[in-house]
Amino acid sequence: MPGSTGIPIDLAIFAVRVVEFLTIILGGIVALTLWADSIPVDLVPNYGRAVLGGALIFALVVEIMGGYDVDCHFSLRRAWQRVTGAWLVTGLFLITMGFLLQLTQDFDRGWSVTWFVTSAVMLGGTRAASTLWIRRLKSQGVFNSRVAIYGASAQGQRLAKYIRGNSKLTISLVGFFDDRRDGRVPVTVDDLPVFGTTDDLIAMIREGLIDQVIVALPWSAEARIQQVVQKLALTPVRIRLAPDLASFAYSHRPLVLLGDLPVITLFERPISGMDAIVKRAEDLILTIGILAFIWPIMLLVAIAVKLDSPGPVFFRQPREGFNNKPFHVFKFRSMAHDKCETDSVQQATKGDMRVTRVGRIIRATSLDELPQFFNVLQGHMSLVGPRPHAPSTRAAGRLFHEVVQTYAGRHKVKPGITGWAQVCGWRGETDTEEKLIKRLEHDLYYIENWSVSFDLYILFRTIFAVIFPKNAF
């Protein structure tokens, strides 16, 4: 049994806050040292105030963005995303305010860039070190509070199994307590002892051996719950009520307040609200910028398609988009005009005789997908998202939705020109059910973990996927 209470993890997180605040200031000092020759001595206090203001703004922004949430201190990727995002927002805010207040000319640009880059690198290193430090302390049980479970029945046993299987929880289980002493309660449950009754539990609390009690009784036993809670309420420990047995199936879902009533959010519409506005702005800005550069390539491809074989330059094919709504996807025609299918689509295979000479090239290089930027402008697609499939396509002779019951889950967001599955190698023909399942797993992972930085990372990976194509024919 753990002998002493753990150190609150909030204390360690507070230390991380202080260190990162000082890191911003240190980055400014390093930049001042490097650019000392070009900065007048009498202006140094202005630079100092700018650095202090930047550190304060960063502290506020990273707090709002959840950079100090507990989960961020166990996931380095999530921590880096939020910290770098907060520092980027801070930099943009400082530039905007400097422009509006006409202060930009008062600061050396070389110093500004050096401060921003130096602090970004130092923040990344500092957060990596603090994450590894907190992980190590967590593995040593430094943050753990000593928790007793009241109720050794199936509900309490499932709660103990959940706690032990969640590596992010800072909990050391002391054991079980239960008033039923008629043989219905075992002596041990999964090597955790069943100590005794409510009176025994209170006695151990009085001895300072328990920090928290979780009551794990069926919610239907309302009278029994109230009786136990009334006794425990007289002790100076945290008391919590575990979810009912059926609720464990949705234990990973967030709990929110509906007025004063707690309810479990089973499913949330992904990329909604402000996130949807941000993603749409991202699509429009990047798409317009990309089209400004690639329109000569699109023109050359259009000419090549027209000269290579008779028929239209573009090919429109029905696809299922957001919320399973049908739309027509644009592509450069890569097959013979009389072989193009709009219904009962058969995916292209290696050596497919329907593909033209130019079509083989543009399919291998993904140039046939370029007209889908127009789908993005129309709002039917995004730059990044699950690739749109024709409703009639099959894997191993079965329709996609027949292979995987959760296939429709990929329609919670707009389809994309590129996606997480594609850059991870799951593109091209889905001739087996395993390939479809892997593609779906990656699509659902993207939907659950969307962020602007994740989109930019996928777009960056797409460049290499196009240069070194796999499974495209």
Ordered structural domains, the chain, with CATH: 9-139 (no CATH), 145-260 (3.40.50.720), 274-467 (no CATH)
Max avg pLDDT among 5-14, 98-107, 139-148 = 139-148
The span from the CA of 24 to the CA of 57, in Å, is 10
According to the model, what pLDDT value does residue 3 have?
A: 45
Residue 416 has pLDDT above 70, yes or no: yes
Report d(CA 160, CA 148) in Å as an integer. Answer: 10
Residue 37 scores a pLDDT above 90? no
302-315 average pLDDT score = 88
Which segment of 53-67, 269-283, 355-369, 416-430 scores lowest on mean pLDDT? 416-430
Mean pLDDT over 385-393 rounds to 75
* Average pLDDT of the chain, as a whole number: 81
40-to-47, 106, 450 alpha-carbon distances in Å: 10, 11, 46
pLDDT of residue 382: 93
Q: Are 383 and 455 in contact (CB under 8 A)?
A: yes
Q: What is the pLDDT of residue 360?
A: 86
d(C-alpha 470, C-alpha 456), whole Å: 21
Q: Cα separation of 180 and 182, whole Å?
A: 6
Q: Which of 263-272, 304-313, 459-468 has the lowest mean pLDDT?
A: 263-272
Please report which confidence band the pLDDT of residue 264 belongs to, taking 50, 70 and 90 as the band edges: low
Residue 47 has pLDDT above 90, yes or no: no
Q: What is the pLDDT of residue 345?
A: 52
pLDDT of residue 66: 84
pLDDT at 274: 81
Look at residue 394 and tell me whether its pLDDT is greater than 80: no
CB atoms near residue 165 (< 10 Å): 8
Q: Is 162 exposed, middle or buried (0-12, 13-18, 19+ CB in 10 A)?
A: middle
Lowest mean pLDDT among 36-45, 262-271, 330-339: 262-271
Tell me, what DSSP letter sits at residue 335? B
Structure confidence by residue, pLDDT tens digits, 188-232: 767 788 888 888 888 888 888 888 888 888 877 888 888 888 888
Please report which confidence band the pLDDT of residue 466 belongs to, taking 50, 70 and 90 as the band edges. Answer: confident
Q: Which of 329, 426, 421 is nearest to 381 (CA)?
A: 329
Mean pLDDT, range 117-137, rounded to an integer: 90
What is the per-residue pLDDT for 434?
Answer: 74
Mean pLDDT of 263-279: 76
Asked if pLDDT for residue 4 goes beyond 50, the answer is: no
Q: Given this model, what pLDDT does residue 351 score? A: 58
- Minimum mean pLDDT among 123-127, 129-133, 354-358, 423-427: which range? 423-427
Report the range of poorest mean pLDDT among 7-21, 46-60, 183-197, 432-446.
Answer: 183-197
pLDDT > 70? residue 75: yes
pLDDT band per the 50, 70, 90 thresholds, residue 104: low
Higher-confidence residue of 146 and 9: namely 146
Residue 468's pLDDT band (cuts 50, 70, 90): low
Give the model's pLDDT for residue 42. Answer: 78
Q: Give the β-pairing of 261-264 and 255-258.
A: antiparallel
Q: Pick 469 or 115 by higher pLDDT.
A: 115
